[in-house]
Structure 1
Amino acid sequence: MRPSVFRHAARLGAVLALLGAATPLSAQQQLPPPLENGAASGVPVAVQVLRWHMLDDGVSTLTFRNMDQLFTTRTVGAAGTPWHLPRADHALDFSYEFKGQRHAADDFAARSYTNALLVMKDGRILSENYYNGSDASTRFMGWSMTKSITSTLVGTALADGLIQSLDDPITRYLPELRGGGYDGTTIRQILQMRSGVDYPERYDFANPGAAARNHIAALVKNNARFADAARTIPRAHPPGQEFAYKTLDTAVLGWLIERVSGGSVAAYTARKLWEPLGAEADGYYIMDGAPGVGREFSGAGFNATLRDWARFGQMMLDQGVADGRRIVSSEWVAGASAPAVTEGEDGGYGLQWWTMPGSDAYAAIGLQGQFVYIDPPTRTVIVKLSHFPPGGTEADAESRAFFRAAAAWTPE
């Protein structure tokens, strides 16, 4: 199922009023200057404007849980029989410390721009709460938590023999990348964000670089496929030399999954992850183009319910097993969740998973406050789906303080 943005354009007017995006008293809404340049787009102007503002403070609480109103999507089908998550509902009767002050755990959601929050221990849901009009059926944008989904798909493709080795050059599977910055780069180096290509993950739209231009062309205007920038991107460093986080690396991994599976990323996600995971609701990817043209935005475009994000985390906590079904090997989980290089004070990075400093905890983390936090020693999984303001570093730091306290918490 691929609902088109064009069917939804008429429903966006009320939201646009919240943005202050329309030109006052104009007979026709105008594109912001950064969108006026380049090839014309078939995406309605109102939808382009809304995509342009979808990260804005005050609007993201709505857009982050209604991405199927903004984009063409591709469904990832759920399981016939969901993985039952037992409950042991319990008040969050602990506190956490942040910036020298103690706060009650019950205050955390209101303090940290929360749309939904779930805490599990030993595979049981202890607390599950929804805010701002969301509920158990709401599907939330994972943003870069999608990278951890894509990593898991690479792990299943490796186990299936579709990929022979992580140390194979990416051009063995994607010869289209020969002659560019990815030539000579291995799959492992791409998983570790050590490809060396010149793609600074910076979104200064007033002075757009490679990442900002690609965002505009692929995700706002749908004039290009996001991964195609990899064909001609130059190299900044030798492969494997430096860690540099970039969504383009994960888009290449999505292209790899598409190539080796012989189908769409969504179809492979359903077959190898979402169905055997026992997901209770369909997930979906946003697409970077219209049906028949676009690709799944495999670097940051997956959407799922709160409990299904929790199932994903529990599968990783259970060493790659979901309700008795093997998804990926325990060796893959160990490698994915271990830092590829020495951790800094903010942690490190494994295979598309972030590692937490000074602990065995690790997390899938997405833009503006999306987290699947996993602490193996305490058997804790926490999912927080948020609407941080852009650059919300204080909310991020407070969230991590809460996660540490929740992991240490032992309910009576």
Structure 2
Amino acid sequence: MRKLLPALLFSGLLLAAPTAQAQTALKPGTPSILFWSAEQQEAWYPAIEKVYKVSTVRRGGPVRPLPKADREIDPTFSYAGKTYSVSEYMRDYRVAGLLVLKDGKIVLERYGLGRRPRDRWTSFSVAKSVTSTLVGAAIQDGYIKSLEDPVTDYIPELRGSGYDGVNVRQLLMMSSGVKWNEDYTDPNSDVAQAGAAILEPGVNPIVSYMRKLPRANPPGTRFTYNTGETDLVGVLVSKATGKSLARYASEKLWKPLGMERDAIWMLDLAGHERGGCCMSITLRDYGRIGQFMLEGGVGRGGKRILPEWWTAQATSPQIKEDAPPPGYGYFWWMLPDGYAARGIFGQSIVTIPEEKLVIVVNSAWPQATGRELSAAQAAMVAAVRQAAKDL
């Protein structure tokens, strides 16, 4: 993975890709989600349930209002010798949704690519941060006793593998020490093969694949980006709670956070939600996720969903060795003054606690990632931050 970092990093943020073969298309011959045309992106990103097998994360109860602020922002910014308005940036960089919350109020909300406010949009690896949050909920509920618990306590099929001696916290830090190849250009890499076939009847395919991998480093010593382990954490949450990820996310997030629409979660070949990828969520509900973390993991009516210590710990650097500076949290990317959930093709939830700011971007970039695409988005985010400060 280390040799790939220069191509995939910008401003210390890795834009993570999912395994392309680990889900079931509804129609034979459906092209990989990594290689959809612009027309397919616009048609299918808002309607992933028409392409792949999915489960539903049910909402319920009153919708949490996101009122409009008294004043809205409409920043302009310069990038690569050109001045952009928000509308021009969205047009040129294929942005389907841009939402900015300041103090829990909407200061900017725009849609593009034919998307409407009630339309969902696929998350790619932003789902990893949701899965991490469900670990926190499972600790609060007593399903997971401690982050120091061995992973094998919850996924006994991993006993006798490279995961012996690895704890839950080390999985969340992507530092299990198990050897892994996340080269998206190599069809023989782990990321290309993990979960792509049922290897053992009755055993989740990602578990079957991961338990055959050797140990490369001592647990907890080095960061190695590993999409397979985020799917593995999803399996762990389901085994610990005795519930599907969709059901548990409904109980702990979608209902108590007052989400406005059901979410969709892509399934793996065994019919289990992918812990590392591919939820479909409305723009405002992405914003509610960011606001929930900003507010310390408290839901409707002040009910605590996450342990009091969880959000501060999950969104601060937990490992630095081989991680993009300033480090990596629990499936959250660190910023110098905040944190972010990130997904390929331009998906992000950026949260700046001191500014009480949440910035959500949904896009359909022409390629999964790239320095220029990331740099342009960073310039836009910086302009939004400044405009929000000036309100």
Gap runs ≥5 in structure 2: 1-19
Distance 1:118 1:212 in 2: 33
Q: Distance in 2 between matches of 1:330 and 1:148?
A: 18
Taking structure 1 as reference, are residues 227 and 282 closer, same or farther at Cα in structure 2, changes over 3 Å only? farther
2:368 equivalent among 370, 375, 390: 390
Partner of 1:335: 313
> Aligned to 1:228, which of 195, 208, 214?
208
- Taking the aligned partners of 2:294 and 2:74, their CA distance within structure 1 comes to 24
Relative to structure 1, the CA distance from residue 133 to residue 226 in structure 2 (aligned partners, 3 Å threshold; closer, same or farther) is: farther
Who is 2:179 aligned against? 198
How far apart, in 2, do the equivalents of 1:297 and 1:348 lie? 25
- Name the structure 1 match of 2:98: 117
Most deviating of 223-232 and 256-265: 223-232
Identity, in percent, stands at: 36
Q: Secondary structure at the match of 2:256?
A: helix
CA contact (8 A) 2:74 2:108 kept: no
The Cα shift of 1:380 comes to 0.8
Distance 2:28 2:315 in 1: 37
Picking from 254, 260, 270, the partner of 1:274 is 254
- C-alpha separation in 2, matches of 1:264 and 1:244: 27
TM-score (norm 2): 0.85
Q: Residue 62 and residue 202 in structure 1: after superposition, are their counterparts in 2 closer, same or farther (change >3 A)?
A: farther
Measured in 2, the distance between the counterparts of 1:203 and 1:267 equals 31
Q: Return the alpha-carbon distance in structure 2 between the equivalents of residues 235 and 225 of structure 1.
A: 19
8 Å CA contact 2:152–2:164 kept in 1: the answer is yes
CA contact (8 A) 1:140 1:303 kept: yes
- Greater relative contact order (CA < 8 Å, ≥ 6 in sequence): 2
Number of matched pairs: 362
CA contact (8 A) 1:374 1:380 kept: yes
Q: 1:110-139 CA deviation, whole Å, 9 max, x = no partner?
A: 232211111111100112121112111211
Equivalence for 2:231: 251
Name the structure 1 match of 2:10: none
Deviation digits for residues 261-301 of structure 1 (CA, Å, limit 9, x no counterpart): 11211111111111111111001211113xxx411111102
Alignment of 1:64-83 (within 5 A): 64-83=45-64
Distance 1:53-1:283 versus aligned 2 partners, 3 A rule: closer
How far does residue 159 in structure 1 lie from its aligned partner after superposition? 1.3
Q: CA deviation at 1:327?
A: 2.1
Matched AA of 1:209: S
Match of 1:399 in 2: 377
Contact residue 54 and residue 63 of structure 1 kept, 8 A: no
Give the alignment partner of residue 334 of structure 2, picking from 355, 370, 373.
Answer: 355
Alignment check: 8 A CA contact 2:179 2:216 kept: yes
Distance in 2, Cα, partners of 1:314 & 1:154: 18
Q: After the TM superposition, which residues 3-402 of structure 1 pair with which residues of structure 2 at under 5 Å, given as runs?
A: 47-58=27-38, 59-88=40-69, 90-99=71-80, 102-205=83-186, 207-214=187-194, 216-217=196-197, 225-289=205-269, 293-323=270-300, 324-342=302-320, 347-356=326-335, 359-388=336-365, 389-402=367-380
| TM-score calculated relative to the size of structure 1 | 0.81
Q: Distance in 1 between matches of 2:314 and 2:385?
A: 21
Residues in 1 aligned to 2:288 and 2:24: alpha-carbon distance in whole angstroms: 38
Deviations 1:323-376 (A, max 9, x none): 4332213410000110113497754310110011xx321111112111011011
CA distance in structure 1 between the aligned counterparts of 2:43 and 2:216, rounded to whole angstroms: 38
State the shift of 1:145 in Å: 0.6
Greater C-alpha radius of gyration:
1
Q: Which runs of 5+ in 1 are unaligned?
A: 1-33, 36-40
CA contact (8 A) 2:194 2:210 kept: no
Contact kept, 8 Å, 1:89 with 1:127, in 2: the verdict is: no
